[in-house]
Amino acid sequence: METTSIALDREAYDLLKRHKRPGETFSQVVKRLAGRRRPLSSFAGAWKDLPANRFREIAAERKRARRMDEERFDRLLRGGG
């Protein structure tokens, strides 16, 4: 099997290591985590009792987190850590 090396910062490595199961390789961890998919229908009604203002707060926080993730990913791609 062909292998490829990748560089991870310490934070990313520690996150990946926390998900690693006994006897599992890091390649297996990545495949397992990247392959997680659930049908959208499994989320139907999950937030039906959530007040509208709380939903807006959660949506705003997710938007901020997504923007931060995108910025960090861009820095990593440019090699800026």
Per-residue pLDDT of the chain (81 residues), as tens digits, is 899 999 999 999 999 999 999 999 999 999 988 887 888 888 888 888 889 999 999 999 999 999 999 999 888 888 765
* Rounded Cα gap, residues 13 and 9, in angstroms: 6
Residue type, 1: M
What pTM value is reported for the model?
A: 0.44
Q: What's the length of the chain?
A: 81
Percent helix / strand / coil, the chain, rounded to 5 = 60, 0, 40
* Rounded Cα gap, residues 9 and 11, in angstroms: 6
pLDDT, position 1: 80
